[in-house]
Amino acid sequence: MFIELLDLLRCVNAHEDTWLVASFKTVSNRFVLDGTLGCPTCSAKYPITTGVADFTAGADLPPRKTGEWAATLEREEVATRAGAFLDVTEPGATVVLGGSWASAAQELSLMTGARVLSLNPESGVEESETVGLLLVGSEIPVAPGSVLGVALDASFPAGIVASAVKAVRAGGRIVGPTAIPPPSELTVLARDEDYWVARKAPEVIKLSRAGR
Ligand SMILES: [Zn+2]
């Protein structure tokens, strides 16, 4: 995990948003290869092993689905779809890609300049200064409203969509599998037999009226 990406990560337990305190065992060229992220509020510990941060807290990972369309497509094409679905047009923004979407993490980051957190990536996805690899259960370990978009596949438990809604900023987008229904607070923009694309409500800016 590149050291600057650690700032994006938060404890997944239910309490006030807190930074994690990192202790490093092995660091190479500002990449943390082995270490621990500790929560100062609830004392939870999240290990980083060979560069991958583990937020599962010992729970089993969701089983990997095989035969999904993303596995059969070129990574560039998956990246193009993810970029379009999530409307990634802002260099430096943070995007979360899960499961089969995560296979396109490097390509999406190169194409858009976005930082990408890859949840439960398939083998062969490399980390970089802009791509972090994470293992998660049903919680996405980022601050509320801190990411531009989240794309998930059917390998995740349904509960993760609530976490995605929290993680995405106002007006941001979520891509989810048809196996998990989109939450009612989202506006569904498009859907096909595999995925839906939805938007979180944009922030309402109140304009003051002069003369009243
Ligand atoms: Zn905590």
CA of 97 to the centre of ligand 1 (A): 23
Domains and CATH numbers, the chain: 56-199 (3.40.50.150)
Query: Tell me, what's the pLDDT at 67?
Result: 45
Closest C-alpha to 153, from 98, 82, 209: 98
For helices 105-112 and 75-85, the axis angle rounded to 10 degrees is: 60
Cα-to-centroid distance, 190 and ligand 1 (Å): 36
> 20 C-alpha to center of ligand 1: Å?
8
User: What sections of the chain are H helices per DSSP?
Assistant: 69-72, 75-85, 105-112, 160-167
In angstroms, the CA 147 to CA 129 distance is 17
Q: pLDDT tens across 106-145, in order? A: 999 999 999 999 999 988 899 999 999 999 999 999 999 9
pLDDT at 206 (0 to 100): 73
Measured distance CA(111)–CA(51) in Å, rounded: 23
- Please list the ranges in the chain whose pLDDT falls under 70: 62-73, 209-212
pLDDT tens digits for 169-191? 999 999 999 999 999 999 999 99
Strands 115-119 and 147-151: unpaired
| 35 Cα–ligand 1 center, Å | 17
CA of 54 to the centre of ligand 1 (A): 14
